[in-house]
Chains A and B, each alone.
Chain A
Amino acid sequence: DTGVSQNPRHKITKRGQNVTFRCDPISEHNRLYWYRQTLGQGPEFLTYFQNEAQLEKSRLLSDRFSAERPKGSFSTLEIQRTEQGDSAMYLCASNNNQGIGDTQYFGPGTRLTVL
C-alpha cells in the first residue's frame, strides 16, 4: 500500500508564470484534499474532491487557482500568473469519507518558490 505522492517536490518559477502540481492519492481513497502551508503556519484548506466532483472551495482559492480530478484518481492543482505571495508548501491529502474521525493521510508536499 503506497502512500500519497506529490510531484514535483520543489518548483521554482518566475512571477507571472503558470505552474501545475500533481497529487496521487492512496488508491482506494475517494476523497482528495488540497492545503496550502506558509512558513510558520499550519496548513490551510483550499479545496476537496469526492471522486471527480469538486465539493468545496475555500475563499483562499482565488480565480488564478484551479484544481481537477478528472477520473477520480490523481488530481492537479494549477496556479496561473503566479505571484510572490503564492510561495508556500502545497499539501495533498486523501481519505475515505467514513465519518468525522476518518484520518486524512498527507503527501510530502510541493514547495513552490515564486521569484
Chain B
Amino acid sequence: AQKITQTQPGMFVQEKEAVTLDCTYDTSDQSYGLFWYKQPSSGEMIFLIYQGSYDEQNATEGRYSLNFQKARKSANLVISASQLGDSAMYFCAMREEGTALIFGKGTTLSVSS
C-alpha cells in the first residue's frame, strides 16, 4: 500500500504568494517522522522541514511551515512569500521506527514573476 500520497503533480504560483503542497500518509505506527525535501533541477535533495508524530506544535523553518493534521494523516507544506528560486520538485517523506525514508512521487512547483 502506498504510504505517502502527493496528489498534485504540478502547482503554479506567482512571486510573493503563499502556496500549499499537499501530502497524506498511511501508517499504523504511533511513532513516526514526516519530512519535506526540495529537489531543484540540479538533482540534490535539500532538507526543508521535519515534524514528529508526537510534536504538538506545527513545525516552522523560515518561510516553510508544516500543517500537521494527525487525525487526517496529512502533513501539508506551506511556503509563504514564494520566490523564483522556490521553483523545484518537492517531496514529502515518512520514516517509521526502524525503517528507511519512504518518499511520495513529488509535486513540481513553478513560481512566476
Q: What bracket does the count of chain B residues touching chain A fall in?
A: 20 to 34
A106 on the B face (CB < 8 A): yes
Task: Give Cα distance in the complex from A112 to B96, angstroms.
Answer: 30
**Interface set, chain A 69-95, CB cutoff 8 A to B:** 89, 91, 93
Q: Assess whether B42 is interfacial by the CB under 8 Å rule.
A: yes
CA–CA, A113 and B93, complex, Å: 26
- Taken together as a complex, chains A and B put the C-alpha atoms of A89 and B42 apart, in Å, by 11
B44, A104: Cβ atoms closer than 8 Å: no
Could you mark each residue 14-47 of chain B with 1 if its beta carbon is under 8 Å from any beta carbon of chain A, else 0? 0000000000000000011101010000111111
Query: Which of A41, A43, A48, A56 meets B45, CB within 8 Å?
Result: A43
Pairwise interchain contact A42-B105, C-beta atoms closer than 8 A: yes
- Interface members, chain B 84-113 (any A CB < 8 Å): 91, 93, 95-97, 100-106
A65 interface hit (Cβ, 8 Å): no
6 A-B residue pairs with CB within 8 Å = A42-B91, A42-B105, A48-B100, A103-B47, A104-B101, A106-B45
18 other contacts beyond A100-B52, A101-B33, A106-B44, with CB at 8 A cut-off?
A33-B100, A41-B105, A42-B103, A42-B104, A43-B45, A44-B103, A58-B100, A100-B31, A100-B33, A100-B97, A101-B52, A101-B95, A104-B47, A105-B47, A106-B45, A108-B44, A109-B44, A111-B43
